[in-house]
Amino acid sequence: MPGLPLPVPDEDSQPFWDYCAQGELRAQRCGSCGVFRHPPRPRCRECGSPDFEWVPLSGRGIVYTYAISHQAVHPALVDLVPHGVVIVELEEGLRLNSNIVDCPVDEIAIGMPVQVVFEKAGDEITLPKFRRV
Ligand code: ZN
């Protein structure tokens, strides 16, 4: 997707993107209460603890909800509409905004099992996307 604006990692999210570039999906898990944090942030929303570890995730989940975009909201998307924008609920319980690949948009369904795949989107960014299983 040449020209599409990509995520800009910050101090908190850089490790997430580094793991994606290595083909690993990881999330912060609170070192105090064990709640997952996503997007990455400096403190736990539940207990306020700054402690965390980057935990490997299964990459498996389901489509929690989705929308089909019929309008190109950015010029780089003109050739890609209609496309599906999904929220995936991972087995570990956290949710990610992403896209479904290799699936016609009219076959995307809530509850559809999916597995993460990684799509290199530039020198610095590899995006976690999902395909049905
Ligand atoms: Zn916590």
Q: Give residue-wise pLDDT tens across range 4-63.
A: 889 999 999 999 999 999 999 999 999 999 999 999 999 999 999 999 999 999 999 999
Q: Which residue has the higher pLDDT, 65 or 80?
A: 65
Sign of CA dihedral 59, 62, 67, 69: positive
Instruction: Report the 10 Å Cβ neighbour count for 4.
Output: 13
**Which pLDDT value is given to residue 117?**
98
**Which pLDDT value is given to residue 5?**
87
Query: What are the counts of helices (DSSP H) followed by strands (DSSP E) for the chain?
Result: 1, 8
Residue 30 CA to ligand 1 center (angstroms) comes to: 5
Rounded distance between C-alpha atoms, residue 4 and residue 15, angstroms: 22
Residue 93 CA to ligand 1 center (angstroms) comes to: 15
In the block, residue with structure tokens 């064990």: 34
Residue 37 CA to ligand 1 center (angstroms) comes to: 9
